Amino acid sequence: MHNADKNRLNDEKKYVVIVDRLQKRGVTQLDIAEITLGLQTKYLPFLSIDVCLDHVKRVLMKREVQNAILTGLELDILAEQGKLSEPLSTIILSDYGLYGIDEILALSIVNVYGSIGSTNFGFVDKTKPGIIGRLDDKTDGKKTCNTFLDDIVGAIAAAAASSIAHKYADVDSKPETF
């Protein structure tokens, strides 16, 4: 087998691992696609959720995106399990606003789609639509740490929105759903 193909296969395998892990943390690809649709529907009124889902999947197939997700989720879980040393443990468990490394990983995801991804991410990070707001809601009493997860979900949604924007650039009004 050609090595480059083997490698692409690895990306596919990591994709399966990541989708599974996001689901265990309470996030489906559809949850993310809905945020993407909310971001782009203003510019592309005929955009369908299926196209958004397709672009979310494309984003999740990118190697650097996968590595950022695996690293961020691992830190959330290790924080929950009390396996991080201080002062990092307290910083991550409290989702300290000036920690910044959660945003750094998120920006590494959106940067793959150029600078317009950053704007979408910033908006989502402030307005917390859909699943992001639910992840961020700490009132449920559960001992869940989503410090990285909420930024990662926002970044995937923003990256998928940018991927769509790049593909359907200059489309003003299209009669058929795409």
- Contact residues for a second copy, defined by CB under 8 A: 3-4, 6-7, 14, 17, 43, 63-64, 67-68, 70-71, 74-75, 77-78, 83-85, 87-88, 91, 97-101, 103-105, 107-108, 111-112, 114-116, 118-127, 165-171, 174
In the complex, what is the shortest distance from the CB of residue 66 to a second copy, in angstroms, rounded to a whole number?
Answer: 9
Q: Distance between CA atoms of 89 and 83, rounded to whole angstroms? A: 8
In the complex, what is the shortest distance from the CB of residue 57 to a second copy, in angstroms, rounded to a whole number?
Answer: 18
Identity of the residue, 10 or 30, whose beta carbon is nearer to a second copy in the bound complex: 10
Identity of the residue, 126 or 143, whose beta carbon is nearer to a second copy in the bound complex: 126
Identity of the residue, 63 or 138, whose beta carbon is nearer to a second copy in the bound complex: 63
51 to each of 19, 88, 151, 152, 170, how far by Cα in Å?
Answer: 18, 39, 22, 20, 17
The answer to whether 156 and 32 have CB atoms below 8 angstroms apart is: yes
In the complex, what is the shortest distance from the CB of residue 91 to a second copy, in angstroms, rounded to a whole number?
Answer: 7
Q: Distance between CA atoms of 104 and 43, rounded to whole angstroms? A: 27
Identity of the residue, 6 or 142, whose beta carbon is nearer to a second copy in the bound complex: 6
In the complex, what is the shortest distance from the CB of residue 29 to a second copy, in angstroms, rounded to a whole number?
Answer: 20
Joined together, the tokens standing for residue 75 give 């830190």
Joined together, the tokens standing for residue 2 give 């050609």
Q: Distance between CA atoms of 22 and 27, rounded to whole angstroms? A: 5
